[in-house]
Chain A
């Protein structure tokens, strides 16, 4: 199994440009999410989805859109990139087992907005 796959790994955008970070998982997990990681800030939840057709906002949703048309895919869209969106983005998937929710992370996407 590939687990959680994110593309691209690295991207440089100009302010105002749009782009989509792709995320796919092959574990048939119900729950998928996007986090951003900034120095000294830990991971902050951007958007999440508890199943196909269902999405909701996390802690820092502004400037980002998501959709969940299939169980496998959960793309993150930046409609008009800003320098404040320079960050490392992690996609994750999980299922709710008897012990709790264990998250499987992708390898990250490094985004620089100039």
Chain B
């Protein structure tokens, strides 16, 4: 079964709007990461948030983590057409191998010009 599940499965917005994607997970984690995948390409790491952190920023990205609810959100502000991609959360299980990440099924974001 999937450790991480993104929501929604697909999101379509206009350029300039904000996009919010959510990730829920089932068991305790060491950290949670977000990756982007452009069509036909490999995944690219965006941001990592540790289990003892609540919020992290990187450019137009803001990630929050609520360990009590076992959930995380990725906010992309002032979206651009180039942000069109699939976004995946990945969890690093607490007590498990730090090398093994479990990925969700992804959110497909479409930013319309």
Contact = CB atoms under 8 A, between A and B. Distances in A.
B41 A100 contact: no
Interface in A67-108: 90, 94, 96, 99-108
B44 interface: yes
Q: Is the interface of A mostly helix, strand, loop or mixed?
A: strand
A103 B92 CA distance: 11
B30 interface: yes
B8 to A, nearest CB: 14
B25 interface: no
Contacts of B41: 107-108
A2 to B, nearest CB: 13
Interface residues of B, number: 26
Nearest to B31: A100
Contacts of B103: 35, 42-44
Contact of B45 (A33, A43, A44, A103): A103
Contacts of A103: 35, 43, 45, 90, 101
A34 interface: no
Interface in A17-66: 31, 33, 35, 40-45, 48, 50, 58
A104 B99 contact: no
Nearest to A107: B42
Q: Is the interface of B mostly helix, strand, loop or mixed?
A: strand
A106 B98 CA distance: 20
Contacts of B35: 103
Contact of B100 (A41, A58, A105, A108): A58
Nearest to A3: B42
Interface in B88-110: 88, 90, 92, 97-106
A99 B31 contact: yes
B73 interface: no
B2 interface: yes
A-B pairs, 5 with minimum CB distance: A105-B42, A42-B105, A100-B31, A43-B103, A31-B99
Given A41-B105, A100-B98, 4 more contacts: A33-B100, A44-B103, A50-B97, A106-B42
